[in-house]
Structure 1
Amino acid sequence: MGSQITTDAGIPVEPIYRDNDRQPEPDAGQFPYTRGIYPTMYRGRLWTMRQYAGFASAHETNERFRYLLNQGQMGLSVAFDLPTQLGLDSDDPRAEGEVGKVGVAIDSIDDMATLFAGIPLDKVSTSMTINAPASVLLLLYELVGAQQGAASKTLTGTIQNDILKEYAARGTYIFPPRPSMRLITDTFAYCAERIPRWNTISISGYHIREAGATAVQELAFTLANGIAYVQGAIDAGLHVDEFGPRLSFFFNAHNNFFEEIAKFRAARRMWATIMRERFGATDERALTLRFHTQTGGSTLTSQQPLNNVVRVTLQALAAVMGGTQSLHTNGFDEALSLPTTEAATLALRTQQVIAYESGVTASADPLGGSYLVESMTDEIEQRALELIRHIDDLGGAVRAVEDGFVQAQIMDTAYDYQNRVESGEQLVIGVNKFVTDDAPVPIFKPNEAVAAEQCAKLAKLRAERDQAAVDAALADLQRAAEGSANVLYPMREALSQRATVGEVCGVLRRIWGEYRPDVAI
């Protein structure tokens, strides 16, 4: 008899599965939504094909957006550069060398208007991967919509706005956890009043997984963070059935095909139960876990990069068969650089082939009833619930992050995985198995002049604007931050007066301080 085979999360895989007399799951569209959140799933509507893009200047990214929309992309997904993610203007000394490198540089309403020039915001859904300054970028988006004549209530999309996973796995935080939680709940309240169709948070397991977590840890830590956000909003006086329908999730898709499908199914079942039994939600929309998926960036290899086309296809298929609501497929060259236009187009075509040629969209939860998938769904749920209960015992997700528990768990898992790759126990084709010399592939190179261009635009903006109006609006923001008023309203006024992202975040830095972790990430 051969040795035991396990999934990436250590779940044993039996050589054959048989009916274990478990009760069948309710149909798709019925609580607890294991089989999907809509009765017919993709027969009614395909997932949104939302390719992530952003580099250099707003003008260049706008051109990539318009190209992708013309190629059949259904929604936009914005990548911001590191200074923007950290609430720094492009001319801040701390931004040197990073402007426009891993995403688009956005310093003011002028840049946001350029980013979406010619793209009607009341007709397109936009996702923005931004966390610490998520409220700032959302307000800029709303203001640009107003410039276009789009009413705030018509805007649809998502801000990631998930700060807890930044402390645990990614590192683009600004403020300490407690005021960051206030900023998030202020955003919930603001959107409920002004932008009701907007998804106010995308509770993200993606970056937790990218940092080295297993599928079980990704699920447990993500839902534990979700519990913290819901409790924080309730503590702030919001009702779960009012903000619950606008919560969304963001998961990773890795190579272990059946484990990933089971993870998505378990996630829906767990969240529906948590929201109904723990928080008393009654609105069906607050019970249904809606999620975006991105294929696994950390699984891509710089060696034999064309192999990544196969990896991305498997991961995308797992996301679709697991019931995702939107999907980004990575370019095969992303272990080397930002994707070229050709690689981004091929990544989009991968989704389109799955959608229109594979036949997997014809039935909701096509692997439902599979002994293997059902067993693995149960096992993932059980292991994730055990980890959530441990986090509860520690005092919840915020305390678990503050104490470094989550970070330590992820680092231990990442270290173990790397050891298995280096020993050859974990096979990675082209890296430690079937190794050959690589043929070079074209590399995308961002515009190196963007930093100087952004600095010049900032100087012009500051010379032209009404500085007294900006100062007055920033003073109002400071008073709100010092008190208990919702900070988004004075923030919106400051941004409308052409205050910069760095200036707005700078006010909050002075009042709330900056986070300095006690543990390394």
Structure 2
Amino acid sequence: MGKEQEFSANKQEWENAVKKTVQRYPERQKVFETSSGIPIDLLYAPKHPQEEYQETQGFPGQYPYTRGIQPTMYRSKYWTMRQYAGFGSARETNQRFRYLLEQGQTGLSVAFDLPTQIGYDSDDSMADGEVGKVGVAIDSLHDMETLFDSIPLEKVSTSMTINAPASILLCMYIAVGEKQGVEPARLTGTIQNDILKEYIARGTYIFPPKPSMRLITDIFAYCQEELPRFNTISISGYHIREAGSTAVQEIAFTLANGIAYVDAALASGLDIDQFAPRLAFFFNAHNQFFEEVAKFRAARRIWSKIMKDRFHAKEPKSWKLRFHTQTGGSTLTAQQANNNIVRVALQALSAVLGGTQSLHTNSRDEALSLPTEESARIALRTQQIIANESGAADTIDPLGGSYYVESLTDEIASRAWKYIEKIDGLGGAVQAVEAGYMQREIRQAAYETQMKIESGEEIVIGLNKFVEEEQQLPDLLKVDEELEANQRKAVQQVRIERDATEADRCLNKLEAAAADPGINLMPYILQAVKAYCTIGEICNTLRKEFGEYNGI
């Protein structure tokens, strides 16, 4: 088939896909046009074949997905608007969730406190001073029931930023759904469940790499059968970028981690076209606007090639990189905090122009504290203004075809491939983590960026240029000092009121199952959760068998 025929065939295939998509998801409005009355087409593309267009860009919803994973992208449906939220007690966070849903948020995103993230109960000495500070404290199913009180789980998609104990929090979510009368197969959402980036950049790990990877593949296998609509992992570049990586390193290291998870799943006997469509990714949006747009486009292109050529996945849905984006927390300044509203708006726009599937916008005060309701509302309104007023969502991949953006996309992809090849040469992401390779690369990049900021070579408004001597701080959210004591009492009360014999029986069964690598641990964790075993008790049971990871 010649280039002209191939181009025409692909265009016809895309147009047919558009017709089918619009039948299921009608376009948001009958007419799309500018304020001057100029019609806006669904897609702008070459009229005739151009050199490498099919190979590097293609049509939306077609390999290599550079221009987007859906045939109509946002013309039919906006991205999911999430606000990452969680602080204090489950009751307080439940109130914030309900407030955000009333303001038009379309999905929930849960932030957990540090003890929850590393598997300690609120009354453990390891949790002193940290309960409810950077997220919501969840000790048992009782807290999870409170967290989602009066929130219908069959209607809401929930993302949970949890990694080492992801299996436990997912089981709690399943149990809450069942108590609401929602079958697991109807639940939708995402668990982060990405332990490799914890070793690389974030640090909230519990177990060594090998048993951690076992837990992840157990989740893959369990959800394949029981939660087919749930995303089993959100392979995260966000925290890699927050630790100081470049945009190229962010996608290269994230996709290398993705390769490691696919390898582990295949080694456990799973079929790639069964689990791959539920893999999701999580990226950062920083201030370099055009580089960020190009980064998202390059990531889709690289992942589709990895899945198609390296792993030989046969289903196109296995080739698609679906991702959530959060604006860059590390770019926010405590100085002149209102400037962060502008930074977040530009970052959010880059994610939309880059084709994200869901988006969280940081609040202006997050360099100082957890966000207030007012700040969270402004952050959500930022997304809503981009969606409804900017026109950015009215045509697919608006910057596609830009000489600059296409050149950046190609260059980012080329440099990312070199990193992936280097990691392959080290034996893969797990071995690269154990050798400290990615950690060293990120530290060097972070150091170089900090030196540029301190020298003034890289400008940060309000920090090293246009500085104001007197700073007026916005109203800040303060977590109730009584929270920790109350949470300690609450978890102790759960232990008193539950069936202690049943709780012990479930923990003993879990310990025995953990000793057999051929057993999927998810059913045993679910039983323990339903018996109101606490997150600390379950993690300590697994610690006995798996041990703890202390870094390199």
Query: 1:428 aligned to 2:460?
Result: yes
Deviation at 1:23, TM superposition (A): 2.7
Deviation at 1:167, TM superposition (A): 0.4
Aligned amino acid, residue 215 of structure 1: A
Instruction: Report what 1:488 is aligned to.
Output: 522
**Take 2:314 and 2:78, find their aligned partners in 1: how far apart are those partners?**
27
Query: 1:464 aligned to 2:497?
Result: yes
Deviation at 1:439, TM superposition (A): 1.9
Instruction: Report what 1:450 is aligned to.
Output: 483
Instruction: Report what 2:164 is aligned to.
Output: 132
**Take 1:448 and 1:240, find their aligned partners in 2: how far apart are those partners?**
49
Aligned amino acid, residue 316 of structure 1: A
Q: How does 1:133-212 map to 2 (within 5 A)?
A: 133-212=165-244
Q: For each residue in 1:93-144, what CA deviation from the matched residue of structure 2 results, as whole angstroms up to 9, or x when unmatched?
A: 0000000000000000000000000001111000000000001000000000
Instruction: Report what 2:18 is aligned to.
Output: none
Instruction: Report what 2:123 is aligned to.
Output: 91
Instruction: Report what 1:371 is aligned to.
Output: 403
**Take 2:135 and 2:297, find their aligned partners in 1: how far apart are those partners?**
32
Instruction: Report what 2:65 is aligned to.
Output: 33
Query: Equivalent residue of 2:284, what SS?
Result: strand
Q: How does 1:297-316 map to 2 (within 5 A)?
A: 297-316=329-348
Q: For each residue in 1:419-449, what CA deviation from the matched residue of structure 2 results, as whole angstroms up to 9, or x when unmatched?
A: 1100111110111111113222111111221
Fraction of identical pairs, as percent? 64
Q: For each residue in 1:392-442, what CA deviation from the matched residue of structure 2 results, as whole angstroms up to 9, or x when unmatched?
A: 000100000011111111111111111110011111011111111322211
Deviation at 1:79, TM superposition (A): 0.1
Aligned amino acid, residue 165 of structure 1: K
Q: For each residue in 1:299-337, what CA deviation from the matched residue of structure 2 results, as whole angstroms up to 9, or x when unmatched?
A: 000011111011000000000000000000000110000
Query: 1:408 aligned to 2:440?
Result: yes
The TM-score normalised by the length of structure 1 is 0.95
Q: Which of 469, 472, 478 in structure 1 is aligned with 2:511?
A: 478
Q: Does the 8 Å contact 2:337/2:473 carry over to 1?
A: no
Query: Equivalent residue of 2:109, what SS?
Result: strand
**Take 1:440 and 1:493, find their aligned partners in 2: how far apart are those partners?**
48
Aligned amino acid, residue 84 of structure 1: T
**Take 1:500 and 1:439, find their aligned partners in 2: how far apart are those partners?**
43
Deviation at 1:463, TM superposition (A): 1.0
Deviation at 1:461, TM superposition (A): 1.0
Instruction: Report what 1:5 is aligned to.
Output: none
Q: Which of 510, 515, 520 in structure 1 is aligned with 2:549?
A: 515
Deviation at 1:487, TM superposition (A): 0.7
**Take 1:448 and 1:187, find their aligned partners in 2: how far apart are those partners?**
36
Aligned amino acid, residue 67 of structure 1: Y
Q: For each residue in 1:13-33, what CA deviation from the matched residue of structure 2 results, as whole angstroms up to 9, or x when unmatched?
A: xxxxxxxx7432211111110
Deviation at 1:457, TM superposition (A): 1.1
Query: Equivalent residue of 1:361, what SS?
Result: coil
Instruction: Report what 1:8 is aligned to.
Output: none
Instruction: Report what 1:23 is aligned to.
Output: 52
Q: Which runs of 5+ in 1 are unaligned?
A: 1-20
Compute the RMSD of aligned alpha carbons: 0.9
Q: Which runs of 5+ in 2 are unaligned?
A: 1-49
Instruction: Report what 1:260 is aligned to.
Output: 292
Aligned amino acid, residue 488 of structure 1: M
Aligned residues: 499
**Take 2:137 and 2:196, find their aligned partners in 1: how far apart are those partners?**
24
Q: For each residue in 1:475-514, what CA deviation from the matched residue of structure 2 results, as whole angstroms up to 9, or x when unmatched?
A: 1111111002001111110110110011001111110000
